[in-house]
């Protein structure tokens, strides 16, 4: 059984295949009928133990566009609140005959446990686990960068060699940062992390990236600047940075954005805390790809589901007009 647990498990060729397949899937969204029969008769469960807007909805949209039968499970309102374990929940799903489980969980390692425990036969896709990994977010971010910095057609078959990506903010609690560092390194990009010293993880010197504490000096050398949310829900209140001090040193406002090269983009995985890590002026500017990242998330998740479950069928059957 094949799973997607960590961005670190992907080779350069795996990642480029997913990005190229996502470009094929994006063409489906341009059609009047946005549906493919690829996963007809297959059942996918979205198993969300933590809150989500973008990931949950875009997985559901991707599954429906591939004609899968979709079951949505959220921990709130389920028997998890009565103390049911992950194992018993998984075995309940297995009894219903599911083909894939998309799981978001507050505990780092929960998707790995599900994939390797023998509790279920289904493919497991990690939709974010604790502070560990969020591989489909890294893939949709790489897809967005490739489209914007290389080109939609020119990017096919290409990686992100030589692109300079700066990731800014609460790296300590960010599965998005970890996944992006792994994937961007695999794709040949140069990554710099910028964070307050208190929000840098132990062992970061072993990650394949540079570390800086000075945002202003990195901006002019960046092709993309990715802002991260300060994850207060994962912090002890005593360690909260003050909003004013944080945004003064690590927030992206119009003056700072003006220091970036003209072609450079601003990214954010969402949800954004406007005023803290990013001003409304920057979030709403044309250089900010936040909404584009959400749309690209559907294509990436279609590609991942297709490659894990779709067998040998061609991803997209093109009409003659499209082939010309
Ligand atoms: N980027 C992201 O994972 O957003 P959600 O928490 O809304 O899914």
- Between the CA of 238 and the centroid of ligand 1 the distance, in Å, is 25
DSSP 165-228: EEEES--TT-HHHHHHHHHHHHTT-EEEEE--GGGS-TTGGGSSSEEES-HHHHHTT-SEEEE-
Tokens (6 digits) for 87: 């194992």
CATH T-level fold of 135-292: Rossmann fold (3.40.50)
CATH T-level fold of 7-133+294-323: Rossmann fold (3.40.50)
57 CA: nearest ligand 1 atom: 8
Residue nearest to atom 3 of ligand 1 (CA): 55
As a whole number, mean pLDDT of residues 194-198 equals 92
CA triple 263-252-240, angle to 5 deg: 150
The answer to whether the complex's ipTM is over 0.90 is yes
Question: What's residue 45's pLDDT?
Answer: 96
Q: Which residues line ligand 1 (CB under 6 A)?
A: 52-55, 128, 137, 269-271
pLDDT surpasses 50 at 319:
no
Average pLDDT, the chain: 92
Task: From 199, 213, 184, 205, select the one nearest 10 (Cα to Cα).
Answer: 184
The 3-state DSSP class for residue 255 equals helix
pLDDT surpasses 60 at 316:
no
Same fold, 7-133+294-323 and 135-292: yes
Task: From 153, 251, 150, 175, select the one nearest 7 (Cα to Cα).
Answer: 175
pTM as predicted: 0.93
As a whole number, mean pLDDT of residues 171-177 equals 96
Of the chain, the end-to-end C-alpha distance in Å amounts to 37
pLDDT surpasses 70 at 323:
no
Digit-coded pLDDT (tens) for 2-32: 999 999 999 999 999 999 999 999 998 888 8
Distance in angstroms (rounded) separating the CA atoms of residues 121 and 100: 9
The residue extents of the domains of the chain are 7-133+294-323, 135-292
As a whole number, mean pLDDT of residues 111-129 equals 95
């Amino acid at each position: 059984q094949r799973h997607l647990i960590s961005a670190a498990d992907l080779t350069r060729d795996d990642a480029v295949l997913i990005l190229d397949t996502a470009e094929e899937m994006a063409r489906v969204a341009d059609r009047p009928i946005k549906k493919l029969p690829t996963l007809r008769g297959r059942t996918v469960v979205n198993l969300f133990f933590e809150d989500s807007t973008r990931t949950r909805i875009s997985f559901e949209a991707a599954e429906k566009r591939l004609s899968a039968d979709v079951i949505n499970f959220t921990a709130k309102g389920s028997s998890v609140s009565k103390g049911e374990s992950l194992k018993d929940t998984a075995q309940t799903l297995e009894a219903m005959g599911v083909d894939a489980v998309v799981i978001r969980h507050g505990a780092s390692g929960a998707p790995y446990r599900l994939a390797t425990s023998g509790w279920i036969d289904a493919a497991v896709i990690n939709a974010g686990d604790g502070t560990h990994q969020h591989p489909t977010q890294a893939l949709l971010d790489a897809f967005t960068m490739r489209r914007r910095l290389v080109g939609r057609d020119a990017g096919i078959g290409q990686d992100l060699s030589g692109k300079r990506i700066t990731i800014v903010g609460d790296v300590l609690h960010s599965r998005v940062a970890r996944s992006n560092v792994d994937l961007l390194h695999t794709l040949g990009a140069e990554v710099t992390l910028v964070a307050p010293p208190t929000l840098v993880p132990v062992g970061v010197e072993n990650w394949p990236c540079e570390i800086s504490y000075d945002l202003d000096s990195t901006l002019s050398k960046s092709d993309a600047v990715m802002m991260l949310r300060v994850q207060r829900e994962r912090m002890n209140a005593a360690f909260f940075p003050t909003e004013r001090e944080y945004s003064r040193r690590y927030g992206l406002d119009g003056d700072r954005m003006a220091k970036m090269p003209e072609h450079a983009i601003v990214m954010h995985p969402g949800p954004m805390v406007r005023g803290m890590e990013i001003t409304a002026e920057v979030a709403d500017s044309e250089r900010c790809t936040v909404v584009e990242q959400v749309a690209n998330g559907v294509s990436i998740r279609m590609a991942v589901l297709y490659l894990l479950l779709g067998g040998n069928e061609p991803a997209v059957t093109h009409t003659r007009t499209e082939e010309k």
